[in-house]
Amino acid sequence: MDAVRNGIIDVIATDHAPHTLEEKAKPYPDHPAGLPLVQHSLLALLDFYHKAELSLEVIVEKTSHALANIYGIKDRGFIREDYWADLVLVDVEKTTKVNTGNILYDCGWSPFEGHEFNSLIDKTFVNGELVYSDGQLVTDPSGLKIEFV
């Protein structure tokens, strides 16, 4: 975490790769690389916040602001007037236990199954539209083409 806190690592992201367990069970080199991680990546980072290893400000900087700045992503990555509202509301006082009933990946599994995170994703907004609330998808997120400056 020192490299993150000291600015050596510019961004934190995931290579979300939702392969099935059957695909992952193939012998090397026939199995695909990567893991299904995007649903739980923020929760994993927030566990470092609870251990006082990362601040909330560093998590936001490395997962949102820095990506928008480095790649020149227009109108995203910050909470600003006239920017698209891509937001995740978290409750750092509640926990999330990962189980098959709350895994949203099409592949149906997570390497975090059985793990209890120290935070909870309450709501998610994409382009200002509520798409996730109280553990359920509310609607399919409607994507927009990302524009670059």
* Chain segment 38-83, per-residue pLDDT in tens: 999 999 999 999 999 999 999 999 999 999 999 999 999 999 999 9
List, in sequence order, every beta strand (DSSP E) within the chain. 87-91, 96-97, 116-117, 120-126, 129-133, 136-137
Residue range 5-22, pLDDT digits in tens: 999 999 999 988 999 999
Evaluate whether residue 36 is within a structural domain: yes
**Residue 145 is assigned to a structural domain of this protein:** no
Distance CA 137, CA 86 (A): 15
- The CATH number for 57's domain is 3.20.20.140
State residue 143's pLDDT score.
81
What pLDDT is attached to residue 15? Answer: 84
Q: In total, how many domains does the chain have? A: 1
User: Is residue 14 assigned to a domain?
Assistant: yes
Q: Is residue 119 part of a domain?
A: yes
Is 148 contained in some domain? no
Is residue 64 in a domain? yes
Give yes or no: 15 in active site: yes
Average pLDDT, the chain: 95
Look at residue 141 and tell me whether its pLDDT is greater than 80: no
Average pLDDT over residues 75-104: 97
Task: Record the pTM.
Answer: 0.93
Asked if residue 142 is part of any domain, the answer here is no
Domain residues for 14? 2-137
Specify if 75 maps to a domain: yes
State the pairing for strand pair 129-133/120-126. antiparallel
Statement: residue 4 has pLDDT above 90: yes
Catalytic residue (one of 2, 15, 82, 134): 15
Average pLDDT over residues 85-104: 97
What pLDDT, on a 0 to 100 scale, did the predictor assign at position 66? 98
Write the single-letter amino acid at 60. Answer: V
